[in-house]
Amino acid sequence: MTAVLEVLVWWAALTGIWLVLISTVDPLELLVGSAAALAAAVLARAGRRAVADR
């Protein structure tokens, strides 16, 4: 459950940054930005775990 919460927090933060940086919010950009943020959130969690497990 902690992993899901961590990815959710990363996703929300990255999606929020994406929304601030784009000029026009249309459905396709929202979908692409959310998908990219989800991928980045999963990679951020994996990277944090790799560094923490050293």
Q: pLDDT by residue (tens digit) across 10-31?
A: 999 999 999 999 888 889 999 9
Question: Global pTM?
Answer: 0.84
| pLDDT tens column, 1-14 | 899 999 999 999 99
Q: Which residues are CB-contacts of 14 (< 8 A; sequence separation ≥ 6)?
A: 36, 37, 40, 41
Domains of the chain by residue range: 2-52
How far apart, in whole angstroms, are the C-alpha atoms of residue 24 and residue 21?
Answer: 9
What are the b/e assignments for 13-44, b being 16+ CB within 10 Å?
ebbeebeeeeeeeeeeeeeebeeebbebbeeb
Residue 36 contacts residue 18 (beta carbons within 8 Å): yes
